Structure 1
Amino acid sequence: MTETATHRKTPIKAAVASWVGTTLEYYDFAVYGTAAALVFNVIFFPPDLPPGIGVLLSMATFAVGFLVRPLGAFILGPLADRFGRKFVMMITLFGIGACTFLIGCLPTYEQIGPLAPILLVVIRMIQGLSVSGEQAAAISMSLEHAPDRRRAFTTSFVTSGSASGGLLATAVFIPFAALPQDVLLGWAWRVPFWLSAVVVVVAYIIRRTLEEPPAFLETQAIKVQIPPMKQALRFHWVAIIRIAACAMIAGVSYVFASFSVAFATTGYELDRPTMLVVPVLASFVALIYTPFGGLLADKIGRKTVFIIGALGAGLTTVPYLWSITTGNWALIFVLGVLCNGLFYSTANAAWPAFFSEMFPNRVRVSGLATGTQIGFALAGAIAPVLSTALAGDDLKNWFGPAMLAIGLMLLSTISALTAKETRKYTLDELDDIQQSEREKEVVTAAIVLPGAARA
């Protein structure tokens, strides 16, 4: 596939543009998860509820944003495959940012009663729809701009945005969490949500001059009368199911970032600001380490690196949750960094290239968005809520949530073992390999010849 002077590959710019968008996405995820664990159970629900029930309801609003993601993938994935990766990246940028800002403007239960959690859920649903196309479009943009030997490294910057977003959000929340309770619950919790506007402006400035990848432009030059989503579901449904199962490893991260904070501060009454430093430190390590994980995936294989990360993240969640019950801060910090900063980041570095290379270019965003968002929706809906329920009304049982993490790990690892390693192939070769002979026949028959539409 040739590159013209007009449409060149720009891997660095694509990686930065994708990274900043994912930073916003995970800033929202982390700031909402932190607020759900510390604040929302008090200000958006009846004040006389038992602590465990209030946290459970708060985590349920967190889960709602994930449940609508598959629907968003069905809408935004085909748009990215038809009209461009950049087109969808701009839509999702403003959708995510506006919703995050609006959450900071919501009235509380004390002010408007049951309407408060209803409005919260509605905004979370709109936000979930927006988020569903962001990562898949950004990953495809980065992958298709990247040199063949650095595809995992380049796409790893998308998921390193999860570390920078989590780091930024939790770091922003720490000084507000240290304020007196009445100040935090009164106005201070709103400020981290309002600050998302800064990230939106920066992302827009970077993304507005980004060009579509040459591979996408050349594919679109051949008009085909078959919708991308229909092609993905008909010929690549096995890959979509495999990715959905692999993506369940994200539940381990949700247990770490959201549940464990409530578990520690509500169940065991550990110091709130200190506990928030744990995910900050883990995110800092992840931010530095993730690109190296991408380089490793380019060297030894996407599947190998992903499985190492998934196994390590699941297994270290067990002692991490147990360490919280001991109140041993040194142990909590070390295990937290190992679990989320190192092992989960290893899987996080490999999966963008691992998953996206399972699809040919014409349906890449549709297939990737559908598979990941089904998996993330299930993980996001199950992990925080079920782990909170398994911890009991007093939020003191660590064993049940730990076994949940092990189950998610096993599902993800077994599914990854069924995948093909793709690191040695070019994107042109993958386009051919990932299409069956029947799919090639169907696509060829659906090609629209010049002037055919007017005949």
Structure 2
Amino acid sequence: MSAPAPRISRARLFTASLVGTSIEWYDYYIFGSAAALVFGSIYYSPEASPLAAQLAAYATFAVGFVARPLGAAVFGHLGDRFGRKATLVATLLLTGGSTFLVGLLPTYAAIGLTAPIVLLLLRLLQGFGVGGEWGGAVLIATEHASPRRRAIYGSFAQFGVPIGVLTSNLAFLAVGGLGEEDFMSWGWRIPFLLSILLVGVGFFVRTRLEDAPEFKKLREKRQVHRAPFAELVRRQPRNLILGSLAAIAPPAVGYTVMVYMLDYGTSVVGFERTTLQWLILTSAFVWMAAIALAAVAADRFGAKKVYAIGAVTAVLWPYPLFPMVNTESAGLAFTAFAVAAVVQGIMAGAQGGLFTEIFDVDVRYSGISIAYQLGGMVGGALTPIVLSTLWGTYQSATPLALWVAGLSLVSLITVFGLRTPERASAEPESATTR
């Protein structure tokens, strides 16, 4: 009989899960901020209209979401076959490296059409890496937890999202004081280049992780599949589909505030760019508090119930969100963003525990990664593009609110169909040696 694996402290799991996702989402959000503020004017033809250039920038941002489900499938396969630790190191290096290279990329004025093409390729690599990040970061924590504490442990990775928002906005605010000309010519590159230092920190932490006993037991019993995705589709197609739809609401609300509002708030409402960034940055603290409270509630009352409550708020809040920003009052805009942060936090606090519960351990990395990233592709990739198009067509905030609320309604309806077994940690009934 093998000796029991040494227990990893909660603090170590928290750090390993949090640091990596914070870096990954820092990288992702600085790209989103740059897409809203910079890329449209420097990486696309000056002959294009401002709206066309901005839509092209958002489309490049959206391509990363298209790559994320593919990354989720590939890294989910690797994580379910060979373990969570090595996969998490790979996603960190891939995402961080591509982000660093964006900071070195010449503009359209320097290399012409090559510039947007290379930007697109780097965005694809970034999205591909992020595709496998969230699932692994959640599992490295939740699979070390008891079933009754999984939402709290699953929330460790979720804190990385608002911290990524916080640090990315701080980075852009730090270079925003350079003046418009310096910011547009070279200042915006600094946050991208600094990401390589953060990758070093994440690499140090993650190479010292251990896979959870739950996964190690699978390997000892030779229950690891050669094709985890095929096994997932064969055995749990319902939860894969419904989980993907349930995952739409958080990014729909999140990217409305964190990406689209940077464009809408400046070009339509008339806020200063730095004012909006400070408001969004400050709301990230509210977001983190909401995640913590929701995770505790999810372990006490059930992750599915708490997530559904969050989805209800996601359906309702878009309607006052835009009118409050339209007042041009910084106080009302902050209130709008802070409540949106609570909306996201409720769902985020429950999501890690919920998605861990609904998939069997032998296909869990593939299941939660693909579901999360497919939802992100619909809710996150499409939202800035659709909102820009709707505003350009109707010049009204009502269609914008309807879009976000409609996506959230899909998540609200589908979350009730998820099947959460009584013992989420039970060994899969039909797993066989492959």
TM-score band, normalised by shorter chain:
over 0.9
Q: Deviations over 1:99-143 (max 9, x none)?
A: 111111110111111111111000001111111111111111111
- Matching residue of 1:451: none
Structure 1 residue 48 displacement after superposition: 4.0
Distance 2:208 2:301 in 1: 34
- Matching residue of 2:302: 301
1:264/1:48 CA distance change after superposition, 3 Å: farther
Q: Deviations over 1:142-169 (max 9, x none)?
A: 1111133211001101111001111110
Query: Does the CA-based 8 Å contact 2:357-2:420 persist in structure 1?
Result: no
Instruction: Please tell me whether residue 87 in structure 1 is matched to residue 100 in structure 2.
Output: no
Q: SS of 2:425's equivalent? A: helix
Instruction: Please tell me whether residue 197 in structure 1 is matched to residue 196 in structure 2.
Output: yes
Percent identical among aligned pairs is: 32
Distance 1:257 1:151 in 2: 28
Q: Deviations over 1:338-371 (max 9, x none)?
A: 01x2111110111111112111111100111121
Structure 1 residue 308 displacement after superposition: 1.4
- Matching residue of 2:32: 33
Distance 1:428 1:302 in 2: 15
- Matching residue of 1:410: 409
Query: Does the CA-based 8 Å contact 2:147-2:425 persist in structure 1?
Result: no
Task: Show the 5 A alignment for 1:212-227.
Answer: 212-224=211-223, 226-227=226-227
- Matching residue of 2:229: 229
Distance 1:251 1:265 in 2: 20
- Matching residue of 2:293: 292
- Matching residue of 2:180: 181
Structure 1 residue 175 displacement after superposition: 2.8
- Matching residue of 1:265: 266
Distance 1:94 1:298 in 2: 33
Query: Does the CA-based 8 Å contact 1:27-1:166 persist in structure 2?
Result: yes
Distance 1:322 1:411 in 2: 23
- Matching residue of 1:320: 321
Structure 1 residue 30 displacement after superposition: 1.5
Letter in 2 for 1:326: T
Distance 2:31 2:48 in 1: 21
- Matching residue of 1:342: 342
Structure 1 residue 3 displacement after superposition: 9.1
Moved more, 407-416 or 379-388: 379-388
Instruction: Please tell me whether residue 367 in structure 1 is matched to residue 367 in structure 2.
Output: yes
Distance 1:22 1:139 in 2: 9
- Matching residue of 1:387: 387
Letter in 2 for 1:261: L
- Matching residue of 1:428: 425
Give the length in aligned residue pairs. Answer: 432
1:3/1:312 CA distance change after superposition, 3 Å: farther
Structure 1 residue 11 displacement after superposition: 3.5
Letter in 1 for 2:374: I
Query: Does the CA-based 8 Å contact 1:310-1:412 persist in structure 2?
Result: yes
Q: SS of 2:46's equivalent? A: coil
Q: SS of 2:175's equivalent? A: helix
Q: SS of 2:81's equivalent? A: helix
Structure 1 residue 77 displacement after superposition: 0.4
Distance 1:46 1:81 in 2: 44
Q: SS of 1:411's equivalent? A: helix
Query: Does the CA-based 8 Å contact 1:72-1:129 persist in structure 2?
Result: yes
- Structure 1, unaligned runs of 5 or more: 449-455
Letter in 2 for 1:390: L
Q: Deviations over 1:275-327 (max 9, x none)?
A: 11121011122123312211111011111111111221332222122222221
Structure 1 residue 9 displacement after superposition: 4.6
Instruction: Please tell me whether residue 133 in structure 1 is matched to residue 119 in structure 2.
Output: no
TM-score, length-normalised on structure 2?
0.95
Query: Does the CA-based 8 Å contact 2:150-2:352 persist in structure 1?
Result: no
1:66/1:3 CA distance change after superposition, 3 Å: farther
Moved more, 144-153 or 81-90: 144-153
Query: Does the CA-based 8 Å contact 2:270-2:328 persist in structure 1?
Result: no
Query: Does the CA-based 8 Å contact 1:85-1:137 persist in structure 2?
Result: yes
Distance 1:399 1:244 in 2: 26
Letter in 2 for 1:283: A
Q: Deviations over 1:195-235 (max 9, x none)?
A: 11122111111111111101100111122465211110111
Task: Show the 5 A alignment for 1:48-67.
Answer: 48-67=47-66
Q: Deviations over 1:374-433 (max 9, x none)?
A: 12122222111111111107x9532222111011110000000112355xx44433x35x
- Matching residue of 2:376: 376
Structure 1 residue 93 displacement after superposition: 0.7
Structure 1 residue 247 displacement after superposition: 1.0
- Matching residue of 1:283: 284
Task: Show the 5 A alignment for 1:64-75.
Answer: 64-75=63-74
Query: Does the CA-based 8 Å contact 2:42-2:107 persist in structure 1?
Result: yes
Distance 2:83 2:202 in 1: 17
Q: Deviations over 1:18-52 (max 9, x none)?
A: 11111012111211111111111111112343332
Q: SS of 1:187's equivalent? A: helix
TM-score, length-normalised on structure 1?
0.91
Distance 1:102 1:116 in 2: 12
